[in-house]
Amino acid sequence: MRIGIDCRPLSRPPAGVSRVLTNIIRELQLIDNENLYYLYSDREFDLPFHSERWRKRIHSRFRFLPGTFWLQTDARSMSLQDRVDVFWGTAQILPLGLPAKVGKVLTVHDLVWQLYPETTTWFGRYAHRRYAERSIREADRVISDSESTARDLQRILNVPESKIEVVHLGVGPAYKPHDPSAAAEYVASKYGVSKDYGLTVGTVEPRKNLVTLVEAMKILRDRGEHSLQLLVAGGTGWKNAKIYNSVQRSGLTESDIRFVGFVPEENLPVLYSGASIFLFPSLYEGFGLPLVEAMACGAPVVASNIAVTAEVVQDAALLVPPLEAEGFAEAMQYVRRDSSLRAAMIQKGFERARHFRWDEAAKQMLQIFGEISKRSC
């Protein structure tokens, strides 16, 4: 097979989609010794291995052209020149109008533009409504990261169940527990923070629901029950003025909440391992990769009780309605005070995290490519 892949996420600042793509590509390279891969992008990117079967195709006639439009022009042209048998749209959009003989596989990570449009950028809403929804219709197979997203695809966009396949994300071998005390000491020294810290990981943007965590921290401080520092690890996103303003209004300082910015992936296992508690209050997620990473590193998890987090963590975490700051405050105190509960959560987290593997995700993707290629012949 000749397989084309949209690799634009690898040329952008590191985020969830780029991490997913990096891991699946790495595993595909290990298990597939037969097929040719063409990696399309409008900008240069690093490939973590060298192989004649994996060919980068970097080209952009118009440097100012947004990536979504580039996919419809340059990427489409290159994929036709390369005579690909299958094209994998990794970021919710395909080059539209590809010939019927080209198998079309599309990963849809979430439906945030449909369910929480107010938390996205105007261009994100425009691009997804104009291109993603048509891409979903044209795709031969739609990949979702979770059963929750699969149900949303059926319910909201009327995608037939037979067209959808769930490919759960994974957690790499680097995500394993470090000695908690040593990890906390390292984090405190590296970032100039407290050794007693809570952690949340994700881009600073509205659907991560950080305002609820700010309110929970204020509740704990006002009760005199607050000792840990909350670390927010993630790049600056969009529409986040409300988040920063909520910190100022609460009277909390950097000793209470510290935005440490983007953290390189190689530092995340230690960051998770040293955390007294991991917090994930998101309003909506397609999967929630930090949940699995935190569990794999031995951090007890308190998360919002949205459908996908319940699917991912099952009984390994405490779940709280996402807008109930009081509930988050109480759950945080409960986990920190009850050592037996904490130990049970950590053990269940280890067991649950073992269900999510990148090699299994890559095997599923390779099987899907083969099925779609045969169907399109």
Residue pLDDT, tens place only, 14-57: 778 889 999 999 999 999 999 999 999 998 998 888 889 999 99
Residue 157: its pLDDT value, please? Answer: 95
Tell me whether the CATH fold assigned to 2-170+357-376 matches the one assigned to 180-353. Answer: yes
Residue 374: its pLDDT value, please? Answer: 73
CATH of 180-353, picked from 3.40.50.2000, 3.40.1160.10, 3.50.30.60, 3.90.1330.10, is: 3.40.50.2000
Residue type, 284: Y
Give the dihedral of Cα atoms 255, 204, 185, 248; nearest 10 deg. Answer: 0
**348/329 Cα distance (integer angstroms):** 22
Point out the least confidently predicted range of 65-74, 102-111, 322-331.
65-74
Exposure letters 234-273 (e unless 16+ CB within 10 A, then b): beebeebeebeebbeebebeeebbbbbeebebeebbbbbb
Can you give the residue ranges of every domain in the chain?
2-170+357-376, 180-353
**Rounded average pLDDT over 312-332:** 96
Q: Is the pLDDT of residue 62 over 70?
A: no
The model's pLDDT over 211-262, given as tens digits with 9 standing for 90+, comes to 999 999 999 999 887 779 999 998 887 777 888 888 889 889 899 999 999 9
Residue 376: its pLDDT value, please? Answer: 60
- Sheet containing strand 317-320, edge to edge, reads 257-261, 229-233, 197-201, 277-280, 301-304, 317-320
Residue 14: its pLDDT value, please? Answer: 75
Residue 239: its pLDDT value, please? Answer: 78
With beta carbons less than 8 A apart as the criterion, state whether 167 and 143 touch: yes
Confidence of residue 377 (pLDDT cuts 50, 70, 90): low
Residue 224: its pLDDT value, please? Answer: 82
Helices (H), 228-357: 241-250, 268-274, 289-296, 307-313, 325-337, 339-353
CATH of 2-170+357-376, picked from 3.10.450.630, 3.40.50.2000, 3.40.50.720, 3.20.20.70, is: 3.40.50.2000
Confidence of residue 333 (pLDDT cuts 50, 70, 90): very high
Question: 245, 218, 212: which is closest to 323 by C-alpha?
Answer: 212
Q: How many CB atoms lie within 10 A of CB 104?
A: 22
The model's pLDDT over 160-213, given as tens digits with 9 standing for 90+, comes to 999 999 999 999 999 999 999 999 999 999 999 999 999 999 988 889 999 999
Which pTM was predicted? 0.93
With beta carbons less than 8 A apart as the criterion, state whether 327 and 320 touch: yes
Question: 64, 62, 74, 53: which is closest to 6 by C-alpha?
Answer: 74
| Mean pLDDT for the chain overall | 92
**254/201 Cα distance (integer angstroms):** 17
**Rounded average pLDDT over 256-275:** 94
Of the chain, the percentage scoring pLDDT greater than 90 comes to 75
**124/107 Cα distance (integer angstroms):** 16
Residue 82: its pLDDT value, please? Answer: 96
**360/373 Cα distance (integer angstroms):** 20
Structure token pair of residue 192: 């100039």
Confidence of residue 65 (pLDDT cuts 50, 70, 90): low
Of the chain, the percentage scoring pLDDT greater than 70 comes to 98
Residue type, 60: S
With beta carbons less than 8 A apart as the criterion, state whether 132 and 141 touch: no
CA atoms within 13 Å, Cβ hemisphere of 300: 21
Confidence of residue 275 (pLDDT cuts 50, 70, 90): very high
Structure token pair of residue 187: 């984090």
Question: 136, 129, 175: which is closest to 350 by C-alpha?
Answer: 175
The model's pLDDT over 212-223, given as tens digits with 9 standing for 90+, comes to 999 999 999 998
Q: Which residue has the higher pLDDT, 84 or 246?
A: 84
Residue 124: its pLDDT value, please? Answer: 83
Point out the least confidently predicted range of 48-62, 86-100, 140-154, 262-276.
48-62
Residue 227: its pLDDT value, please? Answer: 77
With beta carbons less than 8 A apart as the criterion, state whether 184 and 197 touch: yes
